[in-house]
Structure 1
Amino acid sequence: MQTRHITRLVSAAVLAMAGTQASAAGFQLLEQNASGLGNAFAGTAAVAEDASTIFFNPAGMTELQAREFSVGVDFVRPSFDFSNTDSVFLYSPVTVPASGGMSGDAGDWSAVPNAYLSWALTDRLYAGIGFSAPFGLKTEYDDDWIGRAQALKFEIKTMNVNPSLAFKVNDMISVGLGLNWQRMEAEYARMATVLSPPFAAAGLANTKVKLDADDDSWGWNAGILFKLSPTTKLGLAYRSSVKHKLDGSLKFEGPLAGLSPLTTNSDAKADVELPDTFTLSVAQQLSSDWEMLGDLSWTGWSSIKEVKIVRTSGALAGSTAQTLETNFRDTWRISLGANYKLNDAWKLKFGVAYDQTPVKDQASRLVSLPDANRTWLTVGTQWQVNPQSRLDLGLAYLFVDKTHINNDQAADGRGRVTGTYDSDVVILGAQYSMGF
């Protein structure tokens, strides 16, 4: 009974804090520990240095002490500064230049927590459980920004509970399997009507529409760890896609709310299949002081081609209120890391990575997700407090390619947003791990 209560508390804390700022391409969150941050998350499926291996490769639990736990948090700060070129609104029956502010910065600080516990049931069989947030995103603009008809706020939160088992087949091979219960919450808000200046001057404000929806669903993950030699480890890991059937409501607020079936509150649903991932990792001890790490990972973002928001009640039940045309492609990520053992107490970490965006082009780029290819540069340190415990600190700076957008939704009454985003991401992480 007490264990279930603790699980609920940890799960609630993860969901409350997590998943509001994407750092990897798309809206994936790699920050499932801080021990890997300094290495740009290279070697994640092979290194198995603490209990966070439950998320990255559960087979790695066989490399841990009889009982271990890790708890950490990563603070993520993305920046999305938009510069307009020739965005337009559609005031029926004419198109006019968009008016309004530049919105400032659509990004902000957010925390991504994680917690893991593993223990040996026998000398060959291990069990563990992890709490994490594998996906998340938040973009939020001022109410008067020029793209307000397309989006004012878009937020995705996930919370993942991951019980796992690992089995040591022999001294060279270990396998692992995990079950994932995942909760997803989504909020999307935009201006449902954008009035022309004469009407706005007459005191009529614009009308907002907001979707709130959530779902609980299941997935799985598996991994295998090869100890090719005393100095070489190779890891393969897979995390399944998770199909969410989000249920919630569409709510309108403003002078036109309820005046027609199109601006009347209703229940709503949306189906989203979060992508699967496959990772190949290697960890190579070069000497007593130096270790090299590498990662090649694939993410199946093409599972999200579009997201249809469908009304499920009221006069327009069964009709599509809006379709978010994402048209995502599958992506690749490559990362390299190095560790240098300064002395028995301190280890220095370094990393670099290249992360491909799932967004195909500027025409399909959404103001909700102004994503582009990014390059990671990272540093970190590990302090061995005593033989049983250690503290990891990490810092990452992500250079994001110049992001062009030319998203034309004028045919649907939401205007066209044309311009560029200047973006970057800063991540700070801390993690405490202990064996007992």
Structure 2
Amino acid sequence: MRRSTISGVLAAALAAMASGPASAAGFQLLEQNASGIANAYAGSAAIAENASTIFFNPAGMTRLPARTLSVGLAAVRPSFRFSNEGSQTGVLNAGTSDAGGWAAIPNGYVSWALDKDVHVGVGLGAPFGLMTEYDDDWAGAAHSTKFDIKTYNINPSIAWRVNDKLSLGAGVNWQRMEVEYVRRTGIVPVGGFPLPASFATLDAASDAWGWNVGVLLELTSATRVGLSYRSSIDHELKGDLKVKGPSPLFNAARSSNAKADVELPDTVILSAVHKLGSRWELLGDISRTGWSSIKKVDIVRTSGLDNGAVAQVLTTDFQDSWRYALGASYQYNDAWKLKFGIAYDESPVKDARRRLTSLPDNDRTWFSFGGQWRAGKDSLLDLGVAYLYIPDTSIENRDARDPLKGLVKGEYDSSVWILGAQYSLSF
């Protein structure tokens, strides 16, 4: 394959990236490949079966052929259905349609060997994303009607085989974050009548840098262990806060430039893979995500008469979360490998009072299956399906800093489906 073809594939993957609905806890997107979906991403930092190891553990590139390309796509469909149980927001229509919807999360990776012990590569992905969108007149409209987070991540990496047992890897990450946050204002009744409805929209973006490292250890010919770490990334989002409604003078007075600081969390993964005979392979994963880096988000005006004033505070008070995954693969024949997995994913949200309408998150359990087809000597196609069970999720959120938002009280009926395909080629 010519180098120009590789560049074209990677450029197309980057151009296709869109916001993704959060599938892991918080607004993290685990779907940095689709080949791990069927195993519930168990063994992610140790499996190193295609070039997507660049994201999960760059040291795994030393296990790959001299030149490897891997591209994938995950289709994610979350469902967030709200049932009102006593909200006090002044909105007559207390219900809402499903706040979730389908989204596509692409990825692309290429790695190549400089010599037998040194490999380099680059990955394209979207490690964080969120999309919730409600009816404009739902009970929590003053809290949010739309919250859209996009990230784009480019990850050049290098791996070094120290000896037959140990490999090391490292990478740098350029990341862009884009946010659109829409909410309704002035809707709690005043003197028995609701104020005219206006909508405030924050559009902001940031570019920032981070890094990642990994270790891959071959304990025996049948067992290997991977350990990887991805740094937190500090984003200073800058953009516009615009108000639209029936009063042009009010809109102009309340619109301004704005900024918000967000430190996206770090992640550490410990994985193991063990060959059990000639057909079975067992996989395990423990990971921690440092969500406590996001305690609150201040949206600050940076122009106009209120320059420097805090326009709004999103109080998240997130806690660090853990994820546990177990998986197995069965080599059915020379062409087909069957994959299975289960995982438990903790939410960073502490309780109903600190649960945001923009992120009605809760603990989730993954049930995954799929298969890998060897289409030829040098090509693989992975297919995976996952269903994420989420228990009924209560919310009782009242913003003490802004009484006009009112109280959102009720319960979410939520779930997530994930479908994915990954094609990997050695050349």
SS of aligned partner of 1:29: coil
Displacement of 1:299 in angstroms is: 0.4
Q: Is 1:306 paired with 2:306? A: no
Structure 1 residue ranges (4+ consecutive) displaced by more than 2 angstroms after TM superposition: 2-20, 195-200, 256-261
Q: Which of 315, 320, 343 pairs up with 2:305?
A: 315
- 2:79 is aligned with 1:76: no
Contact 1:11–1:159 (CA under 8 A) maintained in structure 2: no
Q: Please show how residues 233-244 of structure 1 align to structure 2 within 5 Å.
A: 233-244=224-235
SS of aligned partner of 2:352: coil
Report if aligned partners of 1:15, 1:157 keep a CA contact under 8 Å in 2.
no
1:289 matched residue in structure 2: 279
Partner of 1:57: 57
> Matches of 1:310 and 1:4 in 2, distance apart?
44
Structure 2 residues not aligned, in runs of 5+: none
Match of 2:35 in 1: 35
Letter in 2 for 1:293: L
Identity %: 57
User: 2:16·2:106 contact (CA, 8 Å) conserved in 1?
Assistant: no
The answer (yes or no) to whether the contact 2:17–2:126 under 8 Å persists in 1 is: no
8 Å CA contact 1:14–1:133 kept in 2: the answer is: no
Change (3 A) 1:114 1:251: same
Answer yes or no: is 1:357 the counterpart of 2:344: no
* Structure-1 separation of matches of 2:39 and 2:267: 19
Separation in structure 1 between the aligned mates of residue 96 and residue 327 of structure 2, nearest angstrom = 37
Q: Secondary structure at the match of 1:363?
A: helix
For the pair 1:159 / 2:152, whether they are aligned, the reply is yes
Whether the 8 Å contact between 1:15 and 1:133 is mirrored in structure 2 is: no
Alignment-mate amino acid for residue 237 of structure 1:
S
Q: 2:141 is matched with which residue?
A: 148
C-alpha distance after superposition, 1:377-434 (max 9, x if no partner): 0001000001100100000000012100000126511000000000000000001000
> Which of these residues, 231, 235, 240, is aligned with residue 249 of structure 1?
240
Deviation of 1:205 (Å)? 4.4
Out of 136, 158, 169, the position equivalent to 2:162 is 169
Aligned mate of 2:408, from 417, 423, 426: 417
Deviations 1:181-236 (A, max 9, x none): 00000010000221649756xxx741000000001100000000001111001000
Matches within 5 A, 1:175-190: 175-190=168-183
Aligned positions of 1:79-158 closer than 5 A: 79-89=79-89, 98-158=91-151
Q: Indicate the larger mover: 379-388 or 97-106.
A: 97-106
**What amino acid is the match of 2:298?**
K
Whether the 8 Å contact between 2:316 and 2:355 is mirrored in structure 1 is: yes
Cα offset for 1:6?
7.7
Q: Please identify, of 5-14 and 335-344, the stretch whose mean Cα deviation from structure 2 is larger.
A: 5-14
Residue number in structure 2 paired with 1:21: 21
- Residue by residue, what CA displacement relative to the aligned partner does 1:25-69 show, whole Å, maximum 9, x if unpaired? 000000011111000000000010000000000000000000001
Which letter does structure 2 place at the counterpart of 1:386? G
SS of the counterpart of 2:292?
Answer: helix
Q: Distance in 1 between matches of 2:338 and 2:345?
A: 23
TM-score (norm 2): 0.96
Contact 2:144 2:184 survives alignment (8 Å) = yes
Aligned to 1:92: none
Q: CA deviation at 1:5?
A: 11
1:99 Cα offset (Å): 1.9
Matched residues in 1 for 2:356 and 2:408: separation?
Answer: 9
* Structure 1 alignment gaps of length 5 or more: 90-96
Cα deviations by residue, 1:260-306 (Å, 9 ceiling, x for unpaired): 88x52100000000000000000000010000000000000000000
Indicate yes or no: 2:282 matched with 1:271. Answer: no
Question: How far apart are the structure 2 equivalents of 1:324 and 1:375?
Answer: 27
Rounded Cα–Cα distance in structure 2 between residues aligned with 1:195 and 1:250: 21
Match of 1:258 among 249, 252, 257: 249
Q: Distance in 1 between matches of 2:101 and 2:39?
A: 24
Answer yes or no: is 1:207 the counterpart of 2:175: no
- How far off is 1:11 after superposition? 5.4
After superposition, where does 1:365-376 map in structure 2 within 5 Å?
A: 365-376=355-366
Displacement, 1:101? Answer: 4.0
Letter in 1 for 2:97: G
Closer, same or farther: CA 144–260 of 1 in aligned 2, 3 Å: closer
**TM-score w.r.t. structure 1 length?**
0.94
Distance in 2 separating the partners of 1:379 and 1:322: 43
Quick one: distance in 2 between partners of 1:274 and 1:307? 12
Of 404-413 and 294-303, deviating more is 404-413
Looking at structure 1, the residues matched to 197 and 299 of structure 2 have their Cα atoms a distance apart, in angstroms, of: 21
SS in 1 for 2:354: coil
Q: How far apart, CA to CA, are the structure 2 residues paired with 1:7 and 1:404?
A: 47
Equivalent pairs, count: 424
Aligned residue identity for 1:310 = V
Cα gap change, 1:304 to 1:411, in 2 (>3 Å)? closer
Q: In structure 1, what is the Cα distance between the partners aligned to 2:290 and 2:200?
A: 31
